[in-house]
Amino acid sequence: MNTDSDPHLLAVDLGLRTGLALYGPTGRLQSYRSKHFSSLRVLRRGIASILRESPPLGWIWIEGGGEIAEAWAKHAGLHKIALHQIQASDWRVGLMLPRQQRNASVAKREAGGLARKVIEWSGAPRPKGPLRHDAAEAILIGLHGVHSVGLLRTMPEL
């Protein structure tokens, strides 16, 4: 039986507009959101706050690179959380058909539909408004992550 003290997975679509998705020990999505940071300095402080407010994390999965990835890596190291850095192509190939990844704009649009299916499958709260593409991509990064680390043995039928 899993509890809230068991390790969770946080998935992050990097950027000043950051997508966040939290997966529980059962491998199901618990929460997701989009957060805008006005600068890299504010984002660095925001990471500390996000990690403080999170349940125990075993993994952080991030998509992207650069200074923002370095900031997440620093905080993950301070908290002794395993960090996995991936690119969009890493998770898209397992979750999308080739026609759904034809180009970035098509892939972002398709991510929204797939993310809504993950929300339904997980029983997570539905979005109150439009689902931002950064939150949608964080949801899919997280689904890839929970499957990769073994929290979810088989992928759901989406």
Give 123-136 as a 3 state SS string.
Answer: CCCCCCCCCCHHHH
Per-residue pLDDT reduced to its tens digit, 42-64 = 999 999 999 999 999 999 999 99
Domain ranges of the chain: 8-148
The C-alpha atoms of residue 133 and residue 75 are separated, in whole angstroms, by 25
* Sole residue written with tokens 């059962």: 26
Confidence at residue 140, expressed as pLDDT on a 0 to 100 scale: 96
What percentage of the chain carries pLDDT values higher than 90? 75
Q: Work out the end-to-end distance of the chain between its first and last CA atoms, rounded to an integer number of angstroms.
A: 25
Q: Give yes or no for residue 4 having a pLDDT over 70.
A: no
Per-residue pLDDT reduced to its tens digit, 94-128 = 877 778 878 777 877 888 889 999 999 999 999 98
Q: Length of the chain, please?
A: 158
> Which residues, in sequence order, are bridge partners of residue 8?
57
The CATH number of domain 8-148 is 3.30.420.10: yes
Confidence of residue 1 (pLDDT cuts 50, 70, 90): very low
The C-alpha atoms of residue 28 and residue 152 are separated, in whole angstroms, by 8
| DSSP assignments along the chain, one per residue | ---TTS-EEEEEE-SSEEEEEEE-TTS-EEEEEEEE-SSHHHHHHHHHHHHHHS--EEEEEEE--HHHHHHHHHHHHHTT-EEEEE-HHHHHHHHS-GGGGSSHHHHHHHHHHHHHHHHHHHTPPPPSS---HHHHHHHHHHHHHHHHTTSSSS----
Look up residue 135 and give its two tokens. Answer: 């939150």
